[in-house]
Amino acid sequence: MVPIKLKRSNYLPWCALFAPILRRYKLLGLIDGTEPCPAPFLPDRSINPAFESWYEKDQNLLIWFNSTLSEEVIPFTVGVSSSRDLWLKFEQRFGGVSDAHIHQLRSRLQCIQKNSQSMADYLQQELSMNRRKQLASSAPTEPFHALSVQALPPLLPTPPQAFAAQQPPLHTSSRYNSYRGRNNRFSNNRGLRGNHRGNYTHGFTSGFNRGHNSSSRGSSSSGARNSCQICGNPSHEAIDCFDRMNPDISGKIPPAKLAAMCAHYHSKSSSPSWLIDSGATSHITNDISNISSPSPYTGEDKVYIGDGKGLSITHTGSSLLHAPHHSFKLNNVLHVPQMKHNLLSAFQFVNDNSCSLTLDSDGSYVKDRSTGKMLLRGPVRDGSYPLQSFPSSGISSASSSAFVSIKAPVKIWHSRLGHPSSPIFRKVISSNCLALHGKSSVDFFCSDCAIAKNHKLSFSPAKSSTPHSLALIHCDVWGPAPVPSVSGFQYYLLLVDDYTRYSWFFPLRRKSEVFSTFVNFKNYVEKCVGNKIKTIRSDSGGEFTSASFQSYLNLHGISHQYSCPHTPEQNGCVERKHRHLVETARTLLVASQVPSVYWVEAFSTAIYLINRLPISGLLQSPWELLFHTP
């Protein structure tokens, strides 16, 4: 679609050919910055679909640019990652202008000669240089128009000064047609006689010499209008120029000027200041970057302006207005893209910040309500009261956006700080005044901490249950004790009924006593309860795997279940009962100030109390469930 390759010498034609293509496919926003790159991630840390769409379109345009480059220009693409960066790099390298460049154009225009050239070639040369001057400078082009006229020979039927004196001055294309028409008619009757050198000084100083009052009389600099940025004509502005839709002319305008004209046309304010509005019930902004952690607005309410038009609300959130020595909270901020100015609700502002707001002919004053201290002073500008938001921490506004404090949920701060423990995290939050979003509690469950900081993954709760007492007995041996008891006991055997959670405690001097103790226990408990022991569950300790123990179980039809090696969680019922028993007994010893050698007596007392206290999840005690008596 672009028939030429970009070289060092043809940047302007290459740019002019690309400009209508960018407008046709709606890609101009990627180049002039009106369609900036969206945030890569959403507030919930998921990928932003708008960013993916923008990135794909930008990279396609970058590939398109690269396909139209010559070999001498390709090295300039090294290190460029976006189409806008490449466009600006080319504009700075090949389209950049300076005073020396403008001076060179002026000198070349002063020296331009028609000589033996045809009128078409001469005017084409003048037209090309004039367009280059218009792109390089915003100065009026009338002196150059006079120069081009004075370079013509005086043999035409109409004197060159007649063209220069026309009011308003002829458009470049009109001059081109007029010159060629008169030249063709004149050439049919007689040829040009010799070469002619124009009076260049006359065309350059006609507005200042006394001998040319006709060209300067009646003109005044005070009443001059700004020239059109497209064609240079002072009779109209760029928005009314017919050449604005002509790609052969407007396509050569640098993107920065096109963006400026679009901004002027839409007249959308990008001022970072806030205008105080006593009639607004909420703060309103047209820039979503002014809102911290914006949330999409799903309601149907609209903001109605003076002409009755309702403007849509897209997001809500909060913000901060930074003063030199104070920061003000802006709650309930509405994002309305069609709003031209940022509006500050006077009621909302004083209500959220406990301050007073005074407006008079000199400006606005914000004072602390309790102390009367001046916090912020604003000017009067065009009948309104703007409040400027200063960059925090003294950082320039151009780079302060990277340092603005954004409110984040508690979980996000917990993740940013490396998942500290709850006491440390609570201390950091309270001492550093971190900007927290919402009123979430500091104490919350973090699944990442639970997975990473646990030594073992928790076992799923057992779903099996026994139908009656003694259907399953959990068995385990504890010991040796740190201190032998006064009676010489160093171990104990703990038996727990799975159905009632009733526990039996038997102190042992040696582990070899487990078998005889279990035989006595079986005979006793089966007669007391009236049921038979069907299954026991234990670890693979030698006291439970001995030949005598196994033959006894086989003789009485009792099945034996083993937990896996080094997996006490599979025998968790009796293991948890161990901890409960030890903690209760240790508490009794400490409270009664009894020596540790009496630990057997303390354990016997503890097991007696545990069996007669209600257990969690049930309204009855193990004693009531086993013996059916209160």
Extents of the domains making up the chain: 274-393, 410-453, 472-627
Q: What is the mean pLDDT of residues 328-332?
A: 89
Backbone angles phi, psi at 599, to 5 degrees: -65, -30
Helix (H) or strand (E) holding 432: helix 422-432
d(CA 247, CA 251): 5
Most confident of the ranges 219-223, 349-353, 469-473: 469-473
Of residues 212 and 3, which shows the higher confidence score?
A: 3
Answer for the pair 535, 473: CB distance below 8 angstroms, yes or no: yes
Residue 101 confidence class, pLDDT cut points 50, 70, 90 = low
Q: What is the DSSP letter of 478?
A: E
pLDDT tens, position by position, 137-169: 544 444 444 444 444 554 444 444 444 444 444
Using only C-alpha atoms, what is the Rg of the chain?
46
d(CA 435, CA 405): 7
Residues found in the chain: 630
Of residues 607 and 404, which shows the higher confidence score?
A: 607
Look at residue 182 and tell me whether its pLDDT is greater than 90: no
With CA atoms as reference, report the closest residue to 615 among 502, 471, 506. Answer: 502
Answer for the pair 127, 172: CB distance below 8 angstroms, yes or no: yes
Helix (H) or strand (E) holding 304: strand 302-304
The reported pLDDT for the residue numbered 589 is: 94
Residue 270 confidence class, pLDDT cut points 50, 70, 90 = very low
Quickly count: other Cβ atoms within 10 Å of residue 2's Cβ.
Answer: 14
Look at residue 402 and tell me whether its pLDDT is greater than 70: no
Backbone angles phi, psi at 332, to 5 degrees: 55, 55
The reported pLDDT for the residue numbered 254 is: 47
Over the chain, what is the mean pLDDT? Answer: 76
The reported pLDDT for the residue numbered 536 is: 95
One-letter amino acid identity for 564?
A: C
What is residue 226's three-state secondary structure? coil
d(CA 440, CA 428): 15
> Burial of 48 by CB count in 10 Å (0-12 exposed, 13-18 middle, 19+ buried)?
middle
d(CA 382, CA 594): 88
Tell me the three-class secondary structure of 234-280, residue by residue.
CCCCHHHCHHHHCHHHHCCCCHHHHHHHHHHHHCCCCCCCEEEECCC
Instruction: List the CATH code of the domain at 472-627.
Output: 3.30.420.10
The reported pLDDT for the residue numbered 474 is: 95
542: left (phi over 0), alpha (psi -120 to 50) or beta: alpha
- Cβ-based neighbours of 194, under 8 Å, separated by 6 or more: none
The reported pLDDT for the residue numbered 217 is: 40
Per residue in 105-119, is it b (16+ CB within 10 Å) or e — as a string?
bbeebbebebeeeeb
Q: What is the mean pLDDT of residues 50-59?
A: 90
The reported pLDDT for the residue numbered 437 is: 60
Backbone angles phi, psi at 402, to 5 degrees: -80, -10
Per residue in 139-150, is it b (16+ CB within 10 Å) or e — as a string?
ebbbbbbbbbbb
Answer for the pair 308, 279: CB distance below 8 angstroms, yes or no: no
Measured over the CA atoms of residue 473, residue 474, residue 476 and residue 481, the dihedral's sign is negative
What is residue 313's three-state secondary structure? coil
Answer for the pair 216, 206: CB distance below 8 angstroms, yes or no: yes
Provide the strand spans (E) within 369-467.
Answer: 374-378, 386-387
The reported pLDDT for the residue numbered 160 is: 45
d(CA 87, CA 85): 6
Backbone angles phi, psi at 307, to 5 degrees: -85, 10
Look at residue 535 and tell me whether its pLDDT is greater than 90: yes
pLDDT tens, position by position, 113-144: 666 677 667 666 666 666 665 555 544 444 44
The reported pLDDT for the residue numbered 415 is: 85
**Bond prior to 43 in cis (omega within 30° of 0):** no
d(CA 293, CA 320): 12
Q: Identify the CATH assignment for 274-393 out of 3.30.420, 1.10.10, 2.40.70, 2.30.30.
A: 2.40.70
Most confident of the ranges 113-127, 242-256, 304-318, 586-600: 586-600
The reported pLDDT for the residue numbered 542 is: 92
Q: How far is CA 325 from CA 81, 204, 276, 364, 390, in A?
A: 40, 57, 20, 17, 10
pTM of the model as a whole: 0.36
Residue 512 confidence class, pLDDT cut points 50, 70, 90 = very high
The reported pLDDT for the residue numbered 230 is: 66
